[in-house]
Amino acid sequence: MVDSSGQIFTIDALLALLLITILIGISANTMGIVGDKILEYSSEQSIQRIAGDTADELIKTPGMPENWENYKYFTNIVPGLADIENGTNKFGNILSMRKISSLKKNPELIKRLLPENMDCNLIIYPINTSIPVIDVISKTPLKGDVSVVNRTVLYDYKLIDIYSNIKPDVIHVNGSEYICTHSYTNPYSHKPPDFNSRKSGWLCAAFNIDLEDIKSKDFYILTDPVMSDNTDFHASWILDTPNRIINNSQNFTSNPMLINSIISELSESKNREIFVLHVFIGGDIKHSFNTYIVGVPRGTSAQDVRLDNINPQPAFLIMKLWIK
């Protein structure tokens, strides 16, 4: 008689069971490790992605509505820092200083861009180290995973408004230049300079300032490059109106000059005042310069009125994101 019972408990069957158990254990463990790795990777990617997307949205969009920084109440506003070029619908890669200041005063607005469980801080480091660091949202990150986004941006210190900007150029086309208001009443009319024959002359331009701005801003005249006091040729300037012609000019100085007194003296208290700036420059194009009339909010310190702040400045925008 053949006895077939007892097969199950042989040693090789037990060995096989052992092997199977070990293999299943290892593969389950590996799957667990891989699963954890995937989860960690995707959650890290998702925080990184959220950080990248939030920074992109801040930098590349002007916010909703586009001029949200002018509003008093921020109930339905989505912040954005991109600057809208004057009078157009275009927004480029330049950040607006006004929007940055508004966000700094109301840091809770950033929550509109972030998921509920995340928090962030935002600092702007200008590449020119003489300009102070702008701490837009200052919070300390918690211990744990912090995702950092570093973007290079340009920001425009738009707290300075340029009202007039005279830039000399070599090309001088007959008949297209501005005919100055001094041409009529003055025997010494303002003729433009001729850089080709090195003749000095006047460059003149008319511009407007609203009465509101005259009352709320300080106005300065400054040059680019800064005037040095040791030149042989003394460039000078006149600020007047079409109705009140002034013949006496003033010399430029190396620092921006406050011209509030001249403006209020010339002002006729109309809603919008017209001024004419006349600049006397030499015939040497190498020593020529740009002249600006700028307005800054009243009370701004004179040190903040600098050429750096007129043109867009490059900076690093660093945003750190973490889970609360």
Partner 1 sequence: MENKGYILGGLSFLLIIPSILLLMVLVDMVNMDESVDTIIKSDNSFYISGDVERNIPIITRQVLKETVDNVISNGNSIPNSRILIKNAVEHRMNDLCANYQNNSGVNIRCVINSVDSASDPFEVEVNSTILVMKGNITYNHIVNQNISILGTDHRNKFSINSNDSNEISDPLPFIKCKKIGGMSIKNARISYGSSLKKYLEGVNGSEIYENASSPYHIKRCPYDPYKSHGNSTKLTTLKNCIDNGYYHESNDGACLLCRLEGRATCNHYGFETFIVPSNEGNQKFIRATCSIDHVIFGNKNFNDSYPGDSVQYYFNNNTAYELFLDNGHRAKYGVPDIK
Question: Residue 239: exposed, middle, or buried by beta-carbon count in 10 A (0-12, 13-18, 19+)?
Answer: buried
Closest to 53 in 3D by CA, of 151, 132, 129, 137: 151
Instruction: Among 1, 3, 4, 299, indicate the residue that binds partner 1 (CB under 8 A).
Output: 4
CA 54 to each of CA 100, 112, 121, 152, 208: distance values in angstroms, whole numbers, following the listed order: 15, 10, 12, 15, 39
- In the complex, what is the shortest distance from the CB of residue 192 to partner 1, in angstroms, rounded to a whole number? 6
Under the criterion CB under 8 A, does residue 43 sit at the interface with partner 1? no
Under the criterion CB under 8 A, does residue 162 sit at the interface with partner 1? yes
Which residues lie across from 60 on neighbouring strands?
Answer: none
- In the complex, what is the shortest distance from the CB of residue 32 to partner 1, in angstroms, rounded to a whole number? 11
Give the H or E element holding residue 279.
strand 272-281
- C-alpha to C-alpha distance for 242 and 247, rounded to whole angstroms: 12
Compare residues 207 and 316 and give the one whose CB is closer to partner 1.
207
- Residues with Cβ within 8 Å of residue 56, at least 6 apart in sequence: none
Under the criterion CB under 8 A, does residue 185 sit at the interface with partner 1? yes
Tokens for 63? 């916010």
**Region near partner 1 per CB under 8 A, out of 19-27, 67-75, 113-121, 211-219:** 19-27
Under the criterion CB under 8 A, does residue 30 sit at the interface with partner 1? yes
Instruction: Among 46, 70, 152, 178, indicate the residue that binds partner 1 (CB under 8 A).
Output: 178
Under the criterion CB under 8 A, does residue 271 sit at the interface with partner 1? yes
Binding residues for partner 1, rule: CB under 8 A, are 4, 7-8, 12-13, 16-17, 19-20, 23-24, 26-28, 30-31, 34, 38, 86-90, 162-181, 183-185, 192, 203, 205-208, 242-243, 270-272, 274
